[in-house]
Structure 1
Amino acid sequence: MPTLLVVDDEPSVCYSFSRVFSDANTRIITAGTIAEGLKLHQAEQPEVVVLDLQLPDGSGLKAFEAIRALTPKQPVIFITAHGTTSTAIEAMKEGAFDYLIKPLDFDRVKEILRRAFEAAYLMRVPAVLPSLEPSEQIVGRTPAIQDMCKIIGRVASQDVNVLILGESGVGKELVARAIYHHSRRAGKPFLAINCAALPESLIESELFGHERGAFTGADRQRVGKFEQCHDGTIFLDEIGDMPLAAQAKVLRLLQEQAFERLGGRETIRTNVRLIAATNQDLEKRIAEGLFRADLYYRLRGVTIPVPALRERPDDIPELANHFLFQFNRELELNIQGFDPEVLAYFRQYRWPGNIREMQGVLREVMLRTTGPLVLMEHLPASIRSSNQSADQSSALSEGGNLNEMIDRLIQSPANKIHSQLIANVERILFKKVLQQTDGHIGQASEKLGLNRSTLRYKLRDLGLSIEKVIGEEVDSNII
């Protein structure tokens, strides 16, 4: 459970935070002085800090400096009265996350805290490459994923812009975080902004800030993300949806590392590394006049394509088991694994929502599961009914000769048919050899010219069990 530290000498403010977030999945701890707050900060190590600027034993800036010295990436949100907003703005220039004005609007408080906890997580939890033992990692052994990880390793330490390409749900943010955590800027802030989630009227203000009176409702100066993230890394997700006016300012920032706030004349200099991502065809957007060609060429210092899940079916069993372990901890379950038929089904499903869809399906499936294994009956009806490619593969497996199988694959709407053909041929071959050897794994591996561990891995990956193949229970001594 994430922890929020609130340091304010007004008991009513501390009480309000505790009351408002009593039903949320957030632990609230409070302090009334700088000394007490720093002591709690060291003992409890909260994810986010809310800090009043005026405290009995000194300025909140004093506490801010102490917190920054210990945890330089910690999101700190200031509470300020109307008369001290200029001090809060100065604090934001030094790296504070945001500030709140009394009396507090708790709808706004909730939104700012949501973003602060998200930023804390992105900076705290490493997204690492498969060679390590991580809490959250890029999972996969297929050549496409290994090539992607090699590119990440080469560019992470280079201060160049990166453009990540891939469908929705493939894990573009995870790639961005891996680059950040392996970069020279890993000790500085990392902020992620989804360009598609922000209204067109607010995106420039969010990125570049604004002066008071710049537009209707701009009743105070606001520091933007590029100014706030000085020396750090900005991740602009879904940059293909960014309005043209904002694109022009981003281009100038990349060229000169300078910009002006909305409604302002002061040129502000910043030093940020930009990582962008999109699920759109930017060259098509350029042809349609919706994206600037000069910005596109600036962004693509290095381009990293992230493969869709259906393009790497050999990774699906490993991903499924990775999420099984993760969700067992999160949901406090003890599910041991998957029926091989389920993994075979997962391999054939096209996963239009990619890894994000797989995570959602597995959460639902695991909550439905009552025994030690996830079975076919636990899969959502929507997955089973839409799994046309699995049915098609099954039909191919039972089909006649190899030429017919190839013809059907070529005429099907599926892509990546090479891996499908190999999987289908291996499935038929392994079944026949195991049936001929009565399920003797040693004899089968010798006949196939594979070592036992490779054969076991391939059988598990294809969702085949010896018991099912030969239609009777096999003596464990032969295995």
Structure 2
Amino acid sequence: MTRVLVVDDEAHVRKALQTVLSKEGYDVDEAENGRAALTMLEEHPAMFRLILLDLNMPEMSGMEFLKKIDNKISEIPIVILTAFSTAETTMEAMSLGAFDYIAKPFNISQIKQVVARAMDMNRLTEEAKSLQKDTVKHQSADSIIGHSAEMREVYKLVGKVASSRVTALIQGESGTGKELIAKSIHFNSSRAGHSLIAINCGAIPENLLESELFGYEKGAFTGASIRKPGKFELAHQGTVFLDEVGELPMSLQVKLLRVLQEGEVEVVGGTQTLKVDVRVIAATNRNLIRMVQAGQFREDLYYRLNVVSIHLPPLRNRKEDIPELARFFLAQYAKEFETGEFYISPEAMEHLLMYDWPGNVRELQNIVYRAAVMAPGKMIMSEHLPDLNEDNAGHDSETNQFEIKEKFNPGFTMREVLRKAEMEAMKWALQRTFGNKAQAARMLDMSRKAFVYKCQEYELDT
């Protein structure tokens, strides 16, 4: 059962709180002053989930108690109770880590509400710690590879951004490693000890995206049986990475702007805003300026996100990094599947260097993994690679153009010509992205929803 510690020198106050909280299902312990409470905490540091603390007590006041335990039990919410509330004492208590402040005399509903919020915060803290551990556990596998001049410029920007608190916008083609850059910024910043939470704005249906980002209250909609925190709430004091931010609906762009401007989150179904301290890093492969001009993206949000812009070069513009990347992916494959070391023949490496890589680093990783599977031994030869020259034949590295091989008869209407051209383009994009519809849609500057609908219309799913 959840235990609460009530610290007050007035016995009738302790008794009243004990009665109210017991009926709510909590175990309640009492202490008549700060010194007695401090002793209890030192003996049982992990026992209590909440402390209700009076400020004016003999032997050791509540303020003295707060100063003694500062940074020792910072995860336990402490609610201040006092009949002598002033602006100075309120600010001092909150600066020392108090969760909330209630003036005496208080009413029962107020106590219940604050205690419920504090317990909710306990749960959120546990979830955030779990997310943080998972992030740190996978951090070693996330490496930025490359020593080309283009990447060295990127590293300089990452270092400058990491040492500041500004919002950053990472731009580049799909597969260039935008999420790795976001992780590098976070883990080299003062927020590295807190959570980095990533969310792909283009991969979540619009009707679910708002609750994922901002959370929802119990009863906010059918099926909302419990309160669920959003990504911004879970990332408090950490970082939120908004991948494919160009896919964010206009209605949610307004809410995101409020988070950036005011540090406030509007929880779905809630009546009050929630303060959060979150650093936002956004990424996109779309031209946001064109979207602003077309009325598809808010201009004020664009400038809020684009305080510092980091442009990731496509792999075709930094081919000198390909050998290092290929060897890294082989080592990663060997470790992941416990196969032992792999090697690449000079001929195979030459094939990799001659290709333009429309899918960028992600495509290189897929090709290397496939070659490791196909190779009978530990040496990857050119015959273990797909026919990259054939793939290159229909690809213009600068414009992502493709060739339409369909022969159109003179009797075709313009509508039929356009439909066939659209279908060929979608087939091409799906091949380039290994069937990933979200990536294929972005390559063709289509919304994911429209792309999925067209796939069904043209029976490309089969």
TM-score (norm 1): 0.57
**Separation in structure 1 between the aligned mates of residue 285 and residue 339 of structure 2, nearest angstrom:** 34
**Separation in structure 2 between the aligned mates of residue 386 and residue 92 of structure 1, nearest angstrom:** 51
Residue among 273, 285, 295 paired with 1:267: 273
The question of 1:123 aligning with 2:154 is answered no
Where 1:186 maps in the other structure, the secondary structure is coil
- State the match for 1:91 in structure 2: 122
Q: Displacement, 1:66?
A: 8.9
- State the match for 1:300 in structure 2: 306
Where 2:136 maps in the other structure, the secondary structure is helix
List aligned pairs for 1:26-41, cutoff 5 A. Answer: none
Where 2:127 maps in the other structure, the secondary structure is coil
Q: Match of 1:91, as an amino acid?
A: N
**Separation in structure 2 between the aligned mates of residue 91 and residue 265 of structure 1, nearest angstrom:** 21
The question of 1:225 aligning with 2:260 is answered no
**1:295/1:125 CA distance change after superposition, 3 Å:** same
Residue among 255, 259, 282 paired with 1:253: 259
Where 2:202 maps in the other structure, the secondary structure is helix
- State the match for 1:318 in structure 2: 324
- State the match for 1:284 in structure 2: 290
Residue among 211, 215, 236 paired with 1:209: 215
**1:226/1:348 CA distance change after superposition, 3 Å:** same
- State the match for 1:47 in structure 2: none
Q: Match of 2:127, as an amino acid?
A: A
Check the 8 A contact 2:334/2:342 in 1, yes or no: no
**1:66/1:333 CA distance change after superposition, 3 Å:** farther
Q: Match of 1:387, as an amino acid?
A: N
Check the 8 A contact 1:92/1:223 in 2, yes or no: no
- State the match for 1:13 in structure 2: none
Where 1:275 maps in the other structure, the secondary structure is strand
**Separation in structure 2 between the aligned mates of residue 252 and residue 68 of structure 1, nearest angstrom:** 28
Q: Match of 2:135, as an amino acid?
A: L
Check the 8 A contact 2:219/2:269 in 1, yes or no: yes
- What is the CA deviation profile of residues 414-458 of structure 1, one whole-angstrom value per residue up to 9, with x for unaligned ones? 449xxxxxxxxxxxxxxxxxxxxxxxxxxxxxxxxxxxxxxxxxx
Q: Displacement, 1:276?
A: 0.6
- State the match for 1:51 in structure 2: none
**Separation in structure 2 between the aligned mates of residue 296 and residue 360 of structure 1, nearest angstrom:** 33
Q: Percent identity?
A: 41
Check the 8 A contact 1:335/1:366 in 2, yes or no: no
**Separation in structure 1 between the aligned mates of residue 208 and residue 367 of structure 2, nearest angstrom:** 34
- State the match for 1:162 in structure 2: 168
- State the match for 1:30 in structure 2: none
The question of 1:370 aligning with 2:376 is answered yes
Gap regions ≥5 residues in structure 2: 1-45, 52-71, 77-114, 400-462
Gap regions ≥5 residues in structure 1: 1-56, 70-83, 99-115, 127-133, 390-411, 417-479
Residue among 137, 143, 154 paired with 2:149: 143
**1:346/1:88 CA distance change after superposition, 3 Å:** farther
- State the match for 1:388 in structure 2: 393
**Separation in structure 1 between the aligned mates of residue 378 and residue 270 of structure 2, nearest angstrom:** 62
**1:191/1:135 CA distance change after superposition, 3 Å:** closer
**Separation in structure 1 between the aligned mates of residue 306 and residue 245 of structure 2, nearest angstrom:** 12
Q: Match of 1:380, as an amino acid?
A: P
Check the 8 A contact 1:170/1:309 in 2, yes or no: yes
Where 1:303 maps in the other structure, the secondary structure is strand
Check the 8 A contact 1:191/1:235 in 2, yes or no: yes
**Separation in structure 2 between the aligned mates of residue 67 and residue 198 of structure 1, nearest angstrom:** 35
- State the match for 1:176 in structure 2: 182
**Separation in structure 2 between the aligned mates of residue 153 and residue 352 of structure 1, nearest angstrom:** 28
Q: Which protein shows a greater Rg?
A: 2
- What is the CA deviation profile of residues 340-378 of structure 1, one whole-angstrom value per residue up to 9, with x for unaligned ones? 111111112121221111111111110111233111111
Q: Match of 1:256, as an amino acid?
A: E
**Separation in structure 1 between the aligned mates of residue 161 and residue 296 of structure 2, nearest angstrom:** 29
Q: Displacement, 1:144?
A: 0.6
**1:380/1:91 CA distance change after superposition, 3 Å:** same
The question of 1:327 aligning with 2:333 is answered yes
**1:336/1:202 CA distance change after superposition, 3 Å:** closer
- State the match for 1:44 in structure 2: none
- CA root-mean-square deviation: 2.9
Check the 8 A contact 2:358/2:397 in 1, yes or no: no
List aligned pairs for 1:11-22, cutoff 5 A. Answer: none
**Separation in structure 1 between the aligned mates of residue 187 and residue 193 of structure 2, nearest angstrom:** 8
**Separation in structure 1 between the aligned mates of residue 246 and residue 133 of structure 2, nearest angstrom:** 26
Check the 8 A contact 2:316/2:397 in 1, yes or no: no
Check the 8 A contact 1:166/1:278 in 2, yes or no: yes
Q: Match of 1:385, as an amino acid?
A: E
Count of matched residue pairs: 296
- What is the CA deviation profile of residues 384-418 of structure 1, one whole-angstrom value per residue up to 9, with x for unaligned ones? 531338xxxxxxxxxxxxxxxxxxxxxx94449xx
Check the 8 A contact 1:122/1:177 in 2, yes or no: no
Q: Match of 1:294, as an amino acid?
A: D
**Separation in structure 2 between the aligned mates of residue 372 and residue 267 of structure 1, nearest angstrom:** 58
**1:367/1:414 CA distance change after superposition, 3 Å:** closer
Check the 8 A contact 2:147/2:321 in 1, yes or no: yes
- What is the CA deviation profile of residues 53-91 of structure 1, one whole-angstrom value per residue up to 9, with x for unaligned ones? xxxx967899xx99979xxxxxxxxxxxxxx99776332
Check the 8 A contact 1:338/1:374 in 2, yes or no: yes
TM-score (norm 2): 0.59
Q: Displacement, 1:229?
A: 1.5
**1:334/1:257 CA distance change after superposition, 3 Å:** same
Check the 8 A contact 1:335/1:371 in 2, yes or no: no
Check the 8 A contact 1:92/1:228 in 2, yes or no: no
- State the match for 2:83 in structure 1: none
**Separation in structure 1 between the aligned mates of residue 375 and residue 277 of structure 2, nearest angstrom:** 50
Q: Displacement, 1:135?
A: 5.0
List aligned pairs for 1:45-84, cutoff 5 A. Answer: none
**1:67/1:355 CA distance change after superposition, 3 Å:** farther
Check the 8 A contact 2:198/2:241 in 1, yes or no: yes
Q: Displacement, 1:172?
A: 0.5
Check the 8 A contact 1:95/1:228 in 2, yes or no: no
Q: Match of 1:123, as an amino acid?
A: V
